[in-house]
Amino acid sequence: MKYQKLHPEGPSVSRLIAGAWRWHTVSYEVVERLIRTSLDNGITTFDHADIYGDHGNEKIFGDVLRQHPALRSNMQLITKCGIKFPSSHRPDTRVKHYDTSKEHIVWAAENSLRMLGVDKIDVLLIHRPDPLLHPQEVAEAFTQLKQQGKALHFGVSNFTPAQFEMLQGYLPFPLVTNQIEISLFLPQPLFDGSVDNLMKHKASAMAWSPLGGGKFIAGENESSRRVLDGLHQYGQRYQASPSQLLLAWLLKHPSSLFPVIGTTKPERIAESVKSLDIGLDRQDWFEMLKWVTGKDVA
């Protein structure tokens, strides 16, 4: 497995990241297998959010760590906060909304530490842009958590370049990432300035839904059928599965994208690692893009 810093002043993380957002749908035993399979294959970074699994996924993950504390020693934990929705676990919330107040960010980070059963979060992200976000409050929350050693690094998720720039301007330390949706099926962030802005700040994007939600499998329209046919053709050339090729397409980008693998199947985690060894040809990269757009670049 390859490891790389999200930012020169940020943490070193595995080039593939295990996303735990659906892990509440499987048993404790499978979650333990997912963790162990990830670590055994060099995927040492795990992505969470406080709301995943109706506020329960962090605790499920934490239960494994409490039972097997040695697993934590070679692991980087990322989590997100800032979204609230009605739930029996949050009886005071009556409407889905965002909360990026200093009070909530600090509380959410401390609650994530309790759920995960750890003493620090490696990277804490604001989950969604909040129209009521006050950058000074966020900066104060981040600074307090950093000084207390409760969160070591900070970033955002789903922010536009302008929103990233605005918040960065209030912080005395760098935002190390913006977690955004990027895949062959959604390549716009590679063209609209989102990834370019991160490169300007020497930060890397974490790419969620890097396989496009399995769109290539359905073959439900002309574009997905082109992708499915092309992936089978390239699979023979590169001796790789469709998902490995889709990950390799992202890994080819010079900004060092970090795909977040959102599977609940241990074997899919193990399979994904081969994508790091695929040296995708530049022309093949552009031909794969053409499968989706239906045309050559201008």
CA distance 140 to 82: 15
Beta strand 121-126 pairing with 151-157: parallel
Catalytic residue among 52, 98, 170, 238: 52
DSSP 3-state of 75: coil
Q: What's the rounded Cα separation, in Å, for the pair 284 and 214? A: 21
Q: Quick one: tokens of 91?
A: 């009886």
CB 108 within 8 A of CB 138: no
Nearest C-alpha neighbor of 61 from the set 109, 18, 20: 20
Half-sphere exposure of 46 (CA within 13 A, CB side): 29
> Of 2, 4, 15, 9, whose CA–CA distance to 201 is shortest?
9
DSSP label at residue 239: T
DSSP code, position 296: -
Task: Please report, in angstroms and rounded to a whole number, the separation of the first and last CA atoms in the chain.
Answer: 36
Whether residue 52 lies in the annotated active site: yes
SS (H, E, C) 9-23: CCCEEECCEEECCCH
Cβ partners under 8 Å of residue 174, min gap 6: 7, 9, 10, 168, 201, 202, 203
Residues designated catalytic: 52
